[in-house]
Amino acid sequence: MKIKYVPTDNIRAMWGNKEAILRRYEGLNIYTLNRWISEMRENKQFRDGVINPTHKLVWINFELFQDFLYWKQHGYSRIKVK
């Protein structure tokens, strides 16, 4: 099954699959992304940023993924827990 989200009326997508993340962050490989997604699932602050409706389909929130990268770099989040 291949699902493609296409934003309408100049609305930017908020969620995407692994391929969308890899396109946004050039140089990131699938193995590192899989490891980071696992870390996001284990962290209470970021677990809402990963949805698995089926065992093969994964949706990742772009904003939370970017916050996760910032947190990984600095060891803290610039955005307080909501």
In the chain, where the domains are located: 15-74
Burial 5-37 (b: 16+ CB within 10 A, else e): eeeeeeeeeebbebebbbeeeeeeeeeebeebb
5-62 confidence digits (pLDDT tens)? 555 555 677 999 999 999 999 899 999 999 999 999 999 999 999 999 999 899 999 9
Q: Is the pTM of this model over 0.85?
A: no
